[in-house]
Amino acid sequence: MAPAESTLPDKRLVADTLSGDDEAFAELTRRHKSRVFGVAARFARDASELDDICQDVFVQAYFKLRQFRGDSPFEHWLMRITTYKCYDYLRKRQRGGAAISTDAMLESGYEPVAPAPVEPHPALDRFHSALAELSPKERLVITLLELEDRTLQEISELTGWSVNNVKVRAFRARAALRKLMETTP
């Protein structure tokens, strides 16, 4: 059984999980949750959705753990699952359409995912509203590139799109965002 706050390498914890030690997977979750939360928070609308996305990521990671070949760090593999999950949620939201009301958010114990600014920042609020208007693919690529500071190569590996494809999508996303910013009052 893996001890609390284990210093074992990820690969060892993966092997332990595969041999039936669920505590090893709990340690992997503890170790990587902040990174997953950090990325997912860029896409989630509220605390509840953020928790759902992150749980889905780790549940999928657990059931697909045999597919982790170990030729790249576990975190990279986990980030790929996170990217796919965030994209799935963006697509579901686009299909679902309706936005969550403020009342529903407050009832669910919602706290703003981004820390509330000390001073109102209308330009940044407008920016986030415009970002939410982008298509799932545009939102994904621009968030990873500009907000998560990922390189084109990294985004290509995370999404499975070619580098050229990522470049084109990022260019279009930026143009769409600029246009939305100009038209949003």
Partner 1 sequence: MNDPQSDAQLDSLFAQARARRADTSAIEYGFETRVMARLRNEKQPGSIWALVSWRMMPFFAACVLGLVVWRVDMASEVDDAAQTASADNPSALDSLGGLEL
- Total number of residues shown for the chain: 185
Cβ nearer to partner 1, comparing 98 with 114: 114
Q: Residue 71 Cβ, how far from partner 1 at the closest point, in Å?
A: 25
Q: Count CA atoms closer than 13 A to 97's CA, side-chain side.
A: 0
Q: In terms of Cα–Cα distance, which of 48, 34, 50 is closest to 86?
A: 50
| Interactions with partner 1, residue window 61-100 (CB under 8 A) | 62-63
Query: Which range touches partner 1 (CB under 8 A), out of 5-13, 48-56, 75-83, 92-100?
Result: 48-56
Cβ nearer to partner 1, comparing 40 with 158: 40
The mark string for 127-166 relative to partner 1 (x by CB under 8 A, - otherwise) is xx-----------------xx-x-----------------
Cβ nearer to partner 1, comparing 160 with 178: 178
Rounded (10°) CA dihedral 41, 45, 48, 49: -80
Residue ranges in contact with partner 1 by CB under 8 A: 22, 25-26, 29-30, 33-34, 37-38, 41-42, 47, 50-51, 54-55, 58-59, 62-63, 111, 113-115, 117, 121, 123-124, 127-128, 146-147, 149, 174-175, 177-178, 181-182
